[in-house]
Structure 1
Amino acid sequence: MYPAGARKSLPSGSSQARSLSCSHLPRSSPRSTSLSARHYKPRREPSSFSWLQARYRLRERNHQQAERLAAMANLFLKQAKQYVATRPSYPPELFDFIASKTPRRDLAWDVGTGNGQAAASLAKLYKAVVGTDTSAQQLAFAAPLPNVRYVHTAPDLPLDGIHAAVAGPGTADLITVAQAFHWLDLPRFYAQARSVLRPEQGVLAAWCYTEPRVSAAVDAVFWRLYRGSQPYWAPNRRMVDDEYRGADFPFDPVDGEAHTGPFEFSTERAMDLDGYLTYITSWSAYQTAKEKGVELLDEATVQEFAAAWGGDGKEVKAVTYPIFLRIGKVRAE
Structure 2
Amino acid sequence: MYFGLMIVRPAPGLGELLRYVGELVDHGAGEMYESLGMSYRPRYTPVLRAMSLGAATVTDITALTHVTQGAVSQAVGLMVTDGLVVREQLPDGRKSGLRLTPEGRKLVGLLEPHWEATFAAVVGLEREIGFPIRRALADAATALESRGFAPRIREARVRTAEPDISPGRGIATATNWFDRGGQAYAQFRPEYPGRLSMFLAALAPSTDLAVDVGCGSGQLTTRLASHFDTTIGIDPSDDQLANARPRDRVRYLRAPAEELPVPDRSATLITAAQAAHWFDRPAFYSEVRRIAADDAVIALISYGVLRPEPAIAPRFDHFYGNEIGSYWPPERKLVDTGYSEIDFPFEEYPVPPMQIRKNWNLAELLGYVSTWSAVRRAEADGATAVLHSFAADLTELWGDPTAKRTVSWPLVMRLGIL
* Common fold by TM > 0.5: yes
Same amino acid, percent of matched pairs? 33
Name the CA shift for 1:209/1:156 in 2 (closer, same or farther; >3 Å): closer
Distance in 1 (alpha carbons) for counterparts of 2:234 and 2:376: 24
Structure number having the greater helix percentage = 2
- 1:57-206 aligned at under 5 Å gives the runs 79-154=181-256, 157=259, 162=260, 165-166=261-262, 168-199=263-294, 201-206=295-300
Task: State the match for 1:21 in structure 2.
Answer: none
Letter in 1 for 2:194: P
Asked if the contact 1:89/1:117 (under 8 Å) is kept, the reply is yes
C-alpha deviations, 1:46-94, integer Å up to 9, x for none?
xxxxxxxxxxxxxxxxxxxxxxxxxxxxxxx962121111111100111
Match of 1:274, SS? Answer: helix
Task: State the match for 1:326 in structure 2.
Answer: 414
Per the TM alignment, residue 155 of structure 1 is displaced from its structure 2 partner at its CA by 6.6
Asked if the contact 1:79/1:284 (under 8 Å) is kept, the reply is no
Which protein, 1 or 2, shows the higher relative CO under an 8 Å CA cutoff with sep ≥ 6? 1
Matched, 1:251 2:346: yes
Residue 305 of structure 2 is aligned with which of 207, 211, 225? 211
Per the TM alignment, residue 102 of structure 1 is displaced from its structure 2 partner at its CA by 1.1
Task: State the match for 2:317 in structure 1.
Answer: 223
Matched, 1:283 2:379: no
C-alpha deviations, 1:120-154, integer Å up to 9, x for none?
11110011111111011111111222311111115
Match of 1:176, SS? Answer: strand
Letter in 2 for 1:225: F
Per the TM alignment, residue 281 of structure 1 is displaced from its structure 2 partner at its CA by 1.6
Name the CA shift for 1:154/1:88 in 2 (closer, same or farther; >3 Å): closer
Per the TM alignment, residue 220 of structure 1 is displaced from its structure 2 partner at its CA by 1.1
Asked if the contact 2:309/2:405 (under 8 Å) is kept, the reply is no
Match of 2:348, SS? Answer: coil
Letter in 2 for 1:222: F
Distance in 2 (alpha carbons) for counterparts of 1:170 and 1:296: 51
Name the CA shift for 1:171/1:302 in 2 (closer, same or farther; >3 Å): closer
Match of 1:173, SS? Answer: strand
Task: State the match for 1:14 in structure 2.
Answer: none
Bigger Rg, which one: 2
What is the alpha-carbon root mean square deviation over aligned residues? 2.4
Distance in 1 (alpha carbons) for counterparts of 2:187 and 2:267: 31
Match of 1:198, SS? Answer: strand
Asked if the contact 2:356/2:409 (under 8 Å) is kept, the reply is yes
C-alpha deviations, 1:173-222, integer Å up to 9, x for none?
000001101001111111110111113x0110111112222211211111
Task: State the match for 2:81 in structure 1.
Answer: none
Name the CA shift for 1:271/1:195 in 2 (closer, same or farther; >3 Å): same
Task: State the match for 2:104 in structure 1.
Answer: none
Letter in 2 for 1:237: R
Matched, 1:314 2:408: no
Letter in 1 for 2:329: A
Match of 2:234, SS? Answer: strand
Distance in 2 (alpha carbons) for counterparts of 1:288 and 1:85: 20
Per the TM alignment, residue 302 of structure 1 is displaced from its structure 2 partner at its CA by 3.1
Distance in 2 (alpha carbons) for counterparts of 1:205 and 1:296: 39
Distance in 1 (alpha carbons) for counterparts of 2:191 and 2:391: 25
Unmatched 5+ residue regions in structure 2? 1-53, 65-178
